[in-house]
Amino acid sequence: MSASAPARPVTPADIRAAKGGTPLVCLTAYTTPMARLVDRHCDLALVGDSVGVVLHGLPDTLGVTMEMMVLHGRAVARGLKRALMVIDMPFGSYEAGPAEAFRNAARLMAETGAAAVKLEGGAHMAETVGFLTARGIPVVGHVGLTPQAVHALGGYRVQGRGADADRVLADARAVAGAGAFAMVLEKVTEPLARRITAELAVPTIGIGASPACDGQVLVVDDMLGLFSDFRPKFVKRYAELESEADRAIAAYAADVRARAFPGAEHVFADTAGAGA
């Protein structure tokens, strides 16, 4: 799939069918203006629970609520024409059991227009994934580093090293087998991500995984360089917008204090016929 393809909205079936083809492109989006930019170039737009950290200043994703996801999901939907909108199920909205997961997933899709939900977890979430997909809710899986379980995992560690590879592989197999149409592999060792990608029938989308994955995803604010103090190894900076914004704001502040802004071209004359 590519940005030059017809503007028909991308579907979960399209994503699944892209296995082994041109790599899928995915970025997060949390606002309408960013969604419009992402939509021009990406196959998937992920309304990630990372919104809690990126836009709300939370220390992690655990404090993100359903209301926050609905708010940002609606905003993103207004900016999309083509990219498949996937929305994260926040912590506490699906872990208690399949029935609760269905209620919350159905709410997210109905209130935002998302075409699919993403949930974290491996073999222990397979029953829930199967329950959702059997009832018409497309699911993207997420294994390896699962940020909602960061405390149980002992921090943001690389997953799948040594004997741990068997666990991550089993998780990926279980979630794909339960019906997920795609799988995010986060912070998984490169050889393991390559093996999972080769074995699974569904596309893998890597973040800190392998170039062999069927697609890649990044937090858009990270790849745009909006946070100078956060530079994870797996993020490539395609811009340094924080420094650019800082320079622009400093120039504005200097102009205001020097009374150089607003200039004559920015104010309105009190002359009939001179324009609004």
CB proximity list for 216: less than 8 A, separation 6 or greater:
23, 24, 25, 26, 205, 206, 207
Q: Give the phi and the psi of residue 11 in degrees, each rounded to 5.
A: -115, 165
Q: Does the annotation list 120 as a binding residue?
A: yes
Q: Does the annotation list 4 as a binding residue?
A: no
Q: Residue 89's closest CA among 135, 46, 144, 49?
A: 49
What are the Cα distances from residue 214, in Å, to 15, 82, 174?
Answer: 10, 19, 19
186 catalytic, yes or no?
yes
Q: Does the annotation list 118 as a binding residue?
A: yes
Alpha carbon distance 187, 212 (integer Å): 14
Q: Does the annotation list 187 as a binding residue?
A: no
Task: Work out the burial of residue 259: count CB atoms within 10 Å of its CB; fewer than 13 is exposed, 13-18 middle, 19 or more buried.
Answer: exposed
Q: Of the listed 67, 95, 100, 186, which one is catalytic?
A: 186
Q: Does the annotation list 210 as a binding residue?
A: no
Active-site residue set: 186
Binding residues for 3-methyl-2-oxobutanoate: 49-50, 88, 118
User: Which segments are annotated as binding site for Mg(2+)?
Assistant: 49, 88, 120
Binding site, annotated residues: 49-50, 88, 118, 120
